[in-house]
Structure 1
């Protein structure tokens, strides 16, 4: 029963902007599902739904896959607007950003999905990326420099 309910939830949120768990529960009840708010809450967690700003100017539930392109574009904009300089130092990539932008740019870099990154540390205006080999460091520098040209 749960998988059918999950399928129905995904159908509902793809066709209608649902802002609250209660709205989603009401929609499910209209479709014949006997659900509580607690059940809907668990389903939202299981399906990894998130809220995004909808076309009507209010937040609505969405799947990660529906929002990933939107998020990706936003992250690229963050990189274009915050990175000042990038350089490789052995197995480190050092990224300089506008003051106060290091954390946001670090998060954006993490979403790019580079292979062989051991870790990223972001400060106020500097990001250190430790990679597993110097070739990867040079590749990351090349990609990030495209955002500041």
Structure 2
């Protein structure tokens, strides 16, 4: 019963904006699962659900992975809005950003986990990305250029 209930909870929070334990309990009851608010509270703790801001401006339950994806999407948006140029020099990718935006864009790069990146260093408007091979650096440069053009 517990495994089925947990699966249903994941399904519900993925398809609906559920703000409270009471709402979640009500949705479970509609699905034929007789639960108490206390049971739902324990399930939320066991499943490590968190509350995140929904697109409507209210809070909703989400998994940690959903929250990380939401943050990653925001960081990608910051990257695409702040980067003005990307170029490749040997094993380095050099990225020029709007003034004061380099650290946020570098955080986005780190969150995207490009294969081959050894590390990033951000200044005020420039990011140096050390890549393990020149081929990987070329690939990453192309991907970043494509990101800022879209």
Structure 1 gap ranges (5+) = none
1:17: Cα distance to partner? 1.1
Query: Aligned ranges for residues 1-149 of structure 1 at < 5 Å?
Result: 1-20=1-20, 22-23=21-22, 26-27=25-26, 30=29, 31-33=33-35, 35=39, 37-45=41-49, 51-54=52-55, 56-63=56-63, 64=65, 68=69, 74-149=74-149
1:29: Cα distance to partner? 6.8
SS in 2 for 1:119: strand
What is the TM-score of this pair, normalised by structure 2?
Answer: 0.70
With over 3 angstroms needed to count, the CA separation of the structure-2 counterparts of 1:131 and 1:9, relative to structure 1, is same
What is the TM-score of this pair, normalised by structure 1?
Answer: 0.71
RMSD over aligned CA atoms reads 3.2
| C-alpha separation in 1, matches of 2:28 and 2:142 | 53
1:113: Cα distance to partner? 4.0
SS in 2 for 1:81: helix
Give the total of aligned pairs. Answer: 143
| C-alpha separation in 2, matches of 1:120 and 1:23 | 45
With over 3 angstroms needed to count, the CA separation of the structure-2 counterparts of 1:106 and 1:2, relative to structure 1, is farther
Structure 2 gap ranges (5+) = none
| C-alpha separation in 1, matches of 2:91 and 2:23 | 48
With over 3 angstroms needed to count, the CA separation of the structure-2 counterparts of 1:25 and 1:80, relative to structure 1, is closer
